[in-house]
Amino acid sequence: MLVKQISVFVQNEPGRLSFITRLMGENQIDIRSISISDTVDFGILRLIVNDPEKCEQVLKQNGFTVSITNVIAVGIADEPGSLAKVFSLADENGVNIEYVYAFISHTTQDACIIMRVNNGEQAIKIFLENGVKVLSAEEVYHF
């Protein structure tokens, strides 16, 4: 149930994001969600795309340091309190969330929460046992 996420090392310099997203466009790679956080000098760009393998290959060919990481995606109602429920479950069961970002489905209006946790399998088990909808890769790409 884990979803593949692309992580790219990006220098904190004008034009880098535009260059990467243009590469995605030219190679028909659809970005479902994107997150970037930065320090003074560099950032790690995280992408959920429709074709992670191709995306990794394209970026590598263009000289980027790229890795594929497994993350968890859950679908929740876009309403107050629903995200709190997910995080409380994680907290109560000792699952540590390292980073998180989200996007809204264009079909169901649900929110897709992407998270990287310290123990993916354990988190998925807990979410499933407690009725949280864990999304497969296929579901995320077509969310």
Partner 1 sequence: MFWQKDAETMPRAEIRALQLKKLQHTVNWCYDRVPYYRQIMEKSGVTPDQIRTLDDIRRLPFTTKADLRDNYPFGLFAVPKKEVVEIHASSGTTGKPIVGGYTRHDLDTWSDCVARLAVAAGATQDDISQIAFGYGLFTGAFGLHYALEKIGSMVVPISSGNSEKQIMLMKDFGTTLLVATPSYAVYLSELAKDMGVTGELKLRLGLFGSEVCTTEMRNQIEKNIGILVTDNYGLTELGGPGVSGECQYRDGLHINEDHFLAEIIDPDTGEILPEGETGELVITPLSKEAFPIFRYRTKDIAKITYEPCKCGRTFARMNKVIGRTDDMLIIKGVNVFPSQIESVLIQSPHIGPHYQLILRKKNYMDHLEVKVELIDSSLLDQYGALEKVANEIRADLRTVLGLDCKVTLVEPRSIERSTGKAKRIVDLRNLPNA
Query: Which region, judged by CB under 8 A, interacts with partner 1, from 38-46, 88-96, 105-113, 119-127?
Result: 38-46
Within 57-116, the residues that bind partner 1 by CB under 8 A are 63-67, 69, 98, 116
Query: Which region, judged by CB under 8 A, interacts with partner 1, from 9-17, 78-86, 87-95, 129-137?
Result: 9-17
* By CB under 8 A, residue 14 contacts partner 1: no
Assess contact for 47 and 6: CB atoms under 8 A. yes
Q: Which amino acid is at 142?
A: H
Residues that bind partner 1 (CB under 8 A): 7-11, 16, 37, 39, 41-42, 44, 63-67, 69, 98, 116
